[in-house]
Chain A
């Protein structure tokens, strides 16, 4: 750093701390407010999102920042939502009013994203939702909310389609299904979808059980599940309860043909580490998987793993892609004016390149702000030596070469 650039940096910092309206024309930084669960029950996934964002922003800044804004650097600001809606809303207000952020991202927990995006909409601040699946987040006619991930009606739709395809492929009979889900917005939203789809498909629902994510003991739920004798269990869980349920189910020898889970806790790396062999044969629906044959995926994942000792997952990939989406949008907007950013967001067609590691080709938003290309894949967990492997099995055209899914799963 030369003397003059040091002086410039100091001057810029001074301008910022004094809070004068000194930046507007020539901005030095683009402030991105990130509201994530950095503590509380979903902290694990929030922190992964944080790490992915940081890696992407480091890359973008190292490559010269936003060129159309004179090389402006991206700056990440974090707020811990603790997974709590009220905290999320307060933090959004703070981010917008005190920190004067140009964009907001978050909040992972649908229950937090839903009211928080409302705040952003009121202030006209563009809000990018990497992951939060509740349908209504983009179905309220908001102008400033854009979601990268698929919404939950797509998830449940694909879960049932998957089950149907599996039955056909393996000639197995499925009559009775059970729903076990965390009682937040996310779980109850999924359950609503399942109920409709089960009715349409003619399955008998033998158990429909919400449970509190913070429960210290889930044995009661497992006892109920065992007595209900379902063929297939659909599950929506955060990491802690996913571990508890999976282990207790294996210990109590609950035998079912298949367990179909909904990403989230079941896709969390700490889930596999903690549940170990008990998690084998489980089917998990996710937006992304490390074994997908996508350009650049291996390199980015290797880099992330070297940095953080963990593989990327659906959440972190969406968070990573969100930063490149922001870069693309700002390049095209060429301004930090919210209206311009919003316009650029709405006309996004970001394909391949830096977001090429997503499971689909392009990010493109429909009228409601939903990424219309977002798609899902189903993986099966299999023990492979010491590690538990997540093997893509559905849709059939992306199934890992040479792998035959195990359906129904063997008895415990």
Chain B
């Protein structure tokens, strides 16, 4: 029984961090209707940034958020402005701009391989003040950085939700995601909103990177397993829904951890994809998704 509770809670902790990467993905999709295949690579960029900041300056990893998150926001902003936007503009009159998706795949390959060339294939672990710290409770162990990470994730989710609901920029983002043309007619600069949305999506990866770095390692393709999960989570939670992404993440985390207590860990991966397929069949809009008109 203790093993069950221990794995359940651990699943929730890890799952909420998965949820955070998925939030970034769902935000970009919701606003731009672009599936960002480079999302995992952006997480990787964030993790290298967090790694270097933490190891070079000895900064507390959670303080590093103040450096890494703005950096990732700018990174995403500029990526959209200078790489993705030109493609968008070129395909303005195409109903289903597929090239943009291909471009994000290209960015994925370029970033991963650039990291391989620049940093090598080594696995790097940052030794921080919270690395390896455990919280013990009735013979159950929880990793302190995971606890903190889950807390930060929830705060971020709540803040982002508030930001989109109540701030002026947030309202403009939502307006754009609802109806591009109408929003443009109302004087919202569409490309500017795209830049911000992509920046925010990348910034979510920046937050995830900082909370991962105290207990996870960095290597050039570190984004791939997170990326795949983020896609499943986004579909599960509903495309474009932030609460859906966080809840979806927690569900995936629980399946992964609790599932492994009853079957070989190999099978839980299968189980995650099974859930993915079932959601697609039964409720394609996901748990919190709206019926969207693409």
Which residues of A approach B to under 8 Å, CB–CB? Answer: 39-41, 43-44, 46-47, 183, 209-212, 214-221, 223-224, 227, 239-240, 243-244, 247, 250-253, 269-271, 273-276, 278
Contact = CB atoms under 8 A, between A and B. Distances in A.
A212 B123 contact: no
Q: Choose among B3, B132, B216, B260 the residue with the greatest number of A CB atoms under 10 Å from its CB.
A: B260
Contact of B3 (A227, A243, A247): A227
B10 A220 contact: yes
B123 A270 contact: yes
Contact of A39 (B3, B116, B269): B116
Contacts of A269: 122
B127 interface: yes
Nearest to B269: A212
B171 interface: no
A270 B3 contact: no
Contact of A210 (B132, B261, B264): B264
B121 interface: yes
A216 B225 contact: yes
Given A220-B268, A240-B123, A214 B225 contact: yes
B265 A252 contact: no
Nearest to B143: A251
What 10 A-B pairs are tightest by C-beta distance, nearest first?
A220-B260, A211-B265, A274-B125, A43-B121, A216-B225, A270-B122, A44-B121, A220-B257, A270-B123, A252-B141
Contacts of A271: 123
A76 to B, nearest CB: 18
A207 to B, nearest CB: 10
A257 to B, nearest CB: 20
Q: Choose among A47, A212, A218 the residue with the greatest number of B CB atoms under 10 Å from its CB.
A: A212
Contacts of A41: 221
Contacts of A183: 266
Given A219-B14, A220-B268, A223-B3, 9 more contacts: A44-B219, A47-B121, A224-B261, A239-B123, A243-B125, A247-B132, A250-B132, A252-B141, A253-B141
Contact of B10 (A40, A212, A219, A243): A219
A43 B115 CA distance: 13
B217 A210 contact: no
B71 interface: no
Nearest to A250: B132
A219 B257 contact: yes
B229 to A, nearest CB: 7
A68 B123 CA distance: 43
B156 interface: no
A46 to B, nearest CB: 8
A210 B175 CA distance: 48
Given A209-B265, A223-B7, A214 B260 contact: no
B120 A210 contact: no
A104 to B, nearest CB: 23
Given A183-B266, A273-B125, A221 B260 contact: yes
B123 A243 contact: yes
Given A239-B123, A253-B134, A220 B264 contact: no
Interface in B100-118: 112-113, 116
Contacts of B268: 220
B123 A217 contact: no
A52 to B, nearest CB: 15
Q: Choose among B18, B226, B268 the residue with the greatest number of A CB atoms under 10 Å from its CB.
A: B268
5 contacts: A210-B264, A212-B269, A219-B257, A220-B257, A243-B217
A253 B143 CA distance: 11
A276 B264 CA distance: 28
B221 A251 contact: no
Contacts, number: 115
Contacts of A217: 14, 253, 256-257
Nearest to B260: A220
A148 to B, nearest CB: 23
A223 B264 contact: no
B123 A251 contact: no
A101 to B, nearest CB: 24
A183 B268 CA distance: 13
B152 interface: no
A253 B132 CA distance: 10
Nearest to A46: B121
Nearest to B258: A220
A244 B217 contact: yes
B224 interface: yes
A307 to B, nearest CB: 14
B88 interface: no
B113 to A, nearest CB: 7
Contacts of B269: 212, 215
Contacts of A253: 134, 141
Contact of B226 (A44, A216, A247, A250): A216
A240 B217 CA distance: 8
Q: Choose among A47, A211, A217 the residue with the greatest number of B CB atoms under 10 Å from its CB.
A: A217
Contacts of B221: 39-41, 43
A277 B112 CA distance: 29
Contacts of B121: 39, 43-44, 46-47, 270
Contact of A211 (B3, B113, B141, B266): B266
A39 B222 CA distance: 12
Contacts of B257: 217, 219-220, 223
A215 B265 contact: yes
A40 B264 CA distance: 24
Q: Choose among A220, A221, A224, A227 the residue with the greatest number of B CB atoms under 10 Å from its CB.
A: A220
A219 B261 CA distance: 11
A99 to B, nearest CB: 22
A272 to B, nearest CB: 10
A270 B113 CA distance: 19
B160 to A, nearest CB: 22
B225 A215 contact: yes
Contacts of A209: 264-265
B217 to A, nearest CB: 5
Given A210-B266, A211-B265, A220-B261, A47 B120 contact: yes
B113 A39 contact: yes
B264 A211 contact: yes
B139 to A, nearest CB: 9
A274 B215 CA distance: 11
A7 to B, nearest CB: 35
A210 B265 contact: yes
